[in-house]
Every structure is written in C-alpha cells, then in structure tokens.
Amino acid sequence: MTDPLVIFTPSGKRGRVPHGTTVLEAARKLGVDLDSVCGGRGICSKCQVTPGTGQFPKHGVTVSADALSPFNAVEQRYDEKRGLKPGRRLGCQAQILSDVVLDVPPESQLHRQVVRKAAEARTVDMDPATRLYFVEVAEPDMHAPTGDLERLNAALAAQWDLPPAHAPLPVLARLQKALRAGQWQVTVALHQGHADGPAQILDIWPGFFDGPIYGMAIDLGSTTIAAHLTDLATGAVVASAGVMNPQIRFGEDLMSRVSHAMMNPDGAEEMTVAVRGALDDLARAIAQEGGIDAAAILEATLVCNPVMHHLALGIDPVELGQAPFALATSDAVNLSAADLGLGALNPAAKIYVLPLIAGHVGADAAAVALSEAPEKSDDLVLIVDVGTNAEIILGDRSRVLACSSPTGPAFEGAQISSGQRAAPGAIERVRIDPETKEPRFRVIGCDLWSDEDGFEQAVGTTGVTGICGSGIIEAVAEMRMAGLVDAGGLIGSAAQTGTSRCVPEGRTHSYVLHDGTADGGPLVTVTQGDIRAIQLAKSALYAGARLLMDRRGVDLVDRVVLAGAFGAHISPLHAMVLGMIPDVPVDRVRSAGNAAGTGARIALCSRAARRLIEGNVRRIEKVETAVEPRFQDHFVAANALPHASDPFPELAKIAPLPQVDFNTGGSPRRRRR
C-alpha cells in the first residue's frame, strides 16, 4: 500500500507500481493502451501523457505537482526540437513518484477511438445566418467624402435591401485593399442573426466569389466531441470528425468534474482550457479532413449538457452541483470564435450556442428536440439519447417533458473489466447459442463473425483487444437470453449453467467470451462487476423514463427513438432484454443516429430553426430526477433484468427469458410464473 497508485484515463485502469516506475512501464503492466515505437528512448513521442494535479474525488486521490519526476534532459531536448504541448510528458521518461492521474490523449493510443457519431442525412430548409452577397460599390468622391465601409453599406442597402452592417477590425483592415483589387466590386460574407441586432461582415473578397463557405455543428459530449463540417449554401456535410473529451482525466461523469471544480481553486479554469484546446484541434482536423482552409469556416453551432456548457464558456459549474441547480443563463448565447479561443476558425467567425432546458437538461436535449420534433408527434414518443449522461424526452402534440439521468460511463465501455473505447479490435457484437452456451462475436474493423472462415486472418493486424460499450450491452443481454445470468443479474457457475465458460472469480463467476492468451492476446470476460455496472447504468436510464411516464400518467408509450452513438449501434431487442427502455413492439423502436448533432446542424443551416427551439424550450416541462422521491423506487425496481415488476409482454412474444435463479448453492431453481 506504500507504492504509488496510478490511474489512467480514459480507460479507468488503475494499480500500484513501485516508486520510480516509468509511466510507459506502468501502462504496460496494467494493460493500458499507450503507444511506443522507439523502445522508450524518447525519440518517437508516441507515449505522451497529461498528468492531472489537485483533488480527484471520483478516484479518491490527491495528486501533487511533483507526482512525476522532473523534466529530464531527453524530454527537454525533445521539447526544444519538436515541441511538447503544455502539460504533456513523455511516458518513457517520466517516473511515478506518488499517486497520480494520467490522461492518455487519442494520439498516444495504439488503438485509437472510433467516434461513432456520424452525420444523418436530413433535408433542411436552408436559411443560414451567414450568406454571400456580391455588390458594386461607388468609388470615393472628394466632393462627397464618405468612408469605404459607409459606401459598402449603401451598396448593400440599395442592391440587396440590407441594413447597415458592422465590420470587425480584421475585416476593416482588408476592406480598402479588397475594394481596389476588385475594381469596386466585392463579395462579402454577411452574418444576420435570427433576432434583432446588427448584421456583421465576416469576410470580404475582391470581385465575384461564389464560395463555398462553411459552418461547423459541434456536439460537445461528456466523453466524446463530434463535429460536422457543413456547406452553408447547400447544407451538405463535407466531413465529420471527433475526439475524446480531454476532461475525462478530471472525472468520467459530470458530478466528478463539478467536484473537481469545487475542490481545486483552478479546477474549472483547468477544464475550460482543456476542452477549448480540444475544440480548436477538432476544427483543424475537420478542415483537413474536408480538404479546406479552416479560415473558410465562418460559423459554428454548439450543443452540450449544462456542465459542459458552463465549462466551455468559462463559467464555474459549482452551482450545478447543488440544489436548486441554477444556470448562469438558459438562453441561447451568441459569441465570436475568439471568445472560445478557437483560433483555427476565421478570425471573425460567429458561434451560436443553443438554449438550455433546465439545470440538468441541456442544449444537447434541446437539439434532440429540434431534430425529432416530439411536439409534432401524433403518438406518444419516448426519445432516449444515451451517453455518460442520458437525455430523455417524452411527448406528443399536447405536451412534452424532459429529464436527464446520470447513467455513467459503462455504456461507453468504461468501468468494465475488459472494457475499452470503440476502436479497431474491440468486440462490438455478441451472440450466444442458448443450447451450447458458445459465443460468437464481431469486432470493429471486421465484417466477419468470429466463427467464420478467415476471421483470424482478417483481424490479424489489430487482434481482439477488448470489448466496447455496444459489445458489453449485447453480451449481458445474450447471457440473460441464454440462461447464463438470472433476473437478478447473477452469473451462474459451470454446474448451474452447463458450460465450462463460466469460471470462478472470487466468490462470484465470470463468463469467458474470448481467450486469446495462447496467442499473446487478452482474456476477455464478462465479470459479475461488469453486470452490476450495466445494471446501475440501465436502471438510471429506465428510472428517468418512468418518471416522465408517471408525470404523463401513462404506463406505456407508443414508440421509442434511440439516439446517439448508443442508439445507432444497439439492437432494440438487446436494449429491451436489459430493460433499458420500456416494453414496446420491437418494430416501434428506431435509431435516430446522432440526434443532438443533427439538431446542431439544423440550427446551423436555419435561422427559423433557432427561433423555433428558443420558443419550444420554454414550453418543455422539466423533471428534475435528483429531487424526485420516486426516482429511487424506480431505480431499485429496474435493477432486475429486464425489471422486477413492470411486465414486458411484447418482449415475451419474441424472446421468452429463461426463468433461472442462481442465488442458491446447488442447481438452478426454476421460478414459478
């Protein structure tokens, strides 16, 4: 216990290592995905990590500034020649001296995350806030002296019936040169908001310029940040990109980050700097992906939960950690790119942050509502956007309600024994034969199932590395359907289940999904702790949905929409077997993809949509799960698989679940119906 404790994020893997162990050695010992190709000589820089400092209540440690050894000569030389980002260390050189929390950035991960928030095709009535206008400007006249900007505004009024526009200093500095180079003909990018306020000239080109110009729709999640580069003339998505949210090293869930801000004087500022840096890097990456100059990105929309909202804007989120969960503002916010430190964008670029619904129901939920329009639904629809924090909306034409539920990071593959983020080699699909109890699976990056010819060769490059969120969800559901797990979530023994894949682990059992140890690969198991983590996450989700149904006075919904990366990659059947969603006919469950990102893109392309959502969020009824007395009752009942008391008749029609009970010392006891 005297050895230092090292905790790696985002994997969550932890362990004690001898004093003086290098970070790279610790990562290899604990099975952390930290890259290195130079053999630890400080040449390749693949093993970079970012140490945190201060108190980490989530992890139960306090990290001092000298938890790692000082910069050595190798790191100093590398920094001078090639440069290290502020706060970064080389894992092969930095030695662990005391308890430390270390973040492994995406570029240092050997199996890099696949951000699975793709853009969904959607027809939008184009009405962007930023448009191009070609004008002919009168030449200066000594007898009627006016400035070039005033004559440009006069031309915009005469030729386009537009109000006077303001020009920020970077544009004003180029105005005269552009007018003369274009022989008094120029094209301007003019930004006109959907509310009252002056128009603004964001850029100017000599002569006729027909673009394209671009906007960026950003979904800033607790775990991942996704962005869609969009043509502002057509609405077409040119490129999509994503990164891990670097704030994970301060805590995987939102309340851990609020605690970090509460307990560390510079905690909130530290998290703000981290997320703004990630947004700026993402802007550069998406411009490169789309093959454009980042200066052509003139506008962006941003959606996020309330804690992410405050941290991105540089607002201390401590008030969101205690009742009455007061927001600094719930209205939409209009900013410049410079306000958020987004130097990669056009210097005059504008940022529109969608409005928030309540203290725990954010702009991401508003974006989902904009995308799915529950207020226009003739039937009662339940919309579930699942991530580290679940956004839940229930409504129809008569009434719309919303809440947020803290599901935690288990759905993302974190806090799972063999868990990892979605990356090539991660198990993402699982099927278990109910007779033989034998599994088959698919991994990210390969279309073959593990029992098909050619699978071993197809995954030869990556191997089978672990299991991601969609994989663990399907694995637990399949284990329930195969009779390996009872309704209480208990894994049976080999004698009880009839398969040697159920192996003892302490006082409980684990199910061996894949044993790659013979070839130097990992042993991938589903442990009793994994089952409990999924039970806790799905119980929070179901309890939130039930609270909304209670408020509406209903026990059933007509249809369910699964949104987010989860919704796109989990089958409705497996979600229902776990009891993540209420019982409905499976054909009444559909995936909406990244609905929050789609809502952000709709707001990017339409000023009318901005007016619509700003009005709608004031009419949505907010339910605060943190203070609802019945939340705990629903949560406890939802721990069972699928549920302790709610009937699931539609599920029983297509997948009757084995009535086994492993909470005995002998053979399985059949439950009475």
Contact status, residue 604 vs residue 128, Cβ threshold 8 Å? yes
- Top-confidence residue, 599 or 34: 599
Distance between CA atoms of residues 72 and 205, nearest Å? 50
Residues belonging to the chain: 673
% of the chain beyond a pLDDT of 90: 69
What residue spans of 291-375 are helical by DSSP H? 306-312, 363-372
- pLDDT tens figures, 280-297: 999 999 999 999 999 999
Of residues 94, 99, 95, the one with CA closest to residue 2: 99
The predicted-structure confidence for 80-93, as pLDDT tens digits, reads as follows 888 888 889 999 99
**Residue 212: Cβ-neighbour burial (10 angstroms; 0-12, 13-18, 19+):** middle
List the beta strands (DSSP E) in 288-396: 297-304, 333-336, 350-353, 381-385, 390-395
pLDDT grade for 322, boundaries at 50, 70 and 90: confident
- Mean pLDDT to the nearest integer, 407-426: 80
User: Strand, coil or helix: what is 321?
Assistant: helix
Per residue in 93-140, pLDDT (tens digit) is 999 999 999 988 877 876 665 555 556 666 778 999 999 999 999 999
- Tens of pLDDT, residue by residue over 428-446, are 999 999 999 999 999 998 9
Q: Is the pLDDT of residue 672 over 50?
A: no
Taking 90 as the threshold, does the pLDDT of residue 522 lie above it?
Answer: no
Q: How far apart are the C-alpha atoms of 306 and 327, rounded to whole Å? A: 8
* 528 Cβ contact partners less than 8 Å away, ≥ 6 residues apart: 490, 491, 505, 508, 509, 510
The CA-atom distances, in angstroms, between 634 and each of 388, 562, 597 are 19, 21, 30
Quote the pLDDT of residue 587.
92
Q: Report pLDDT digits (tens) over 40-85.
A: 778 778 899 999 889 888 788 899 999 999 999 999 988 888 888 8
Q: What is the mean pLDDT of the chain?
A: 90
R_g of the chain computed on alpha carbons: 27
Q: Give the per-residue SS3 of 190-214.
A: EECCCCCCCEEEEEEEECCCCCCCE
Judge whether residue 551 has pLDDT over 70. yes
Helix or strand holding residue 279 (H, E): helix 267-290
pLDDT at 141 over 50: yes
Q: Which residues contact 8 (CB under 8 A, 6 or more apart)?
A: 14, 27, 30, 32, 34, 102, 103, 104
pLDDT of residue 667: 47
**Res 375: pLDDT:** 96
Write down the pLDDT at residue 566: 64
Q: Which of the 8 DSSP states describes residue 507?
A: T
pLDDT of residue 272: 96
pLDDT at 179 over 90: yes
Straight-line distance from the first to the last Cα atom of the chain, in angstroms, rounded to the nearest whole number: 50
Above 90 in pLDDT, residue 476? yes
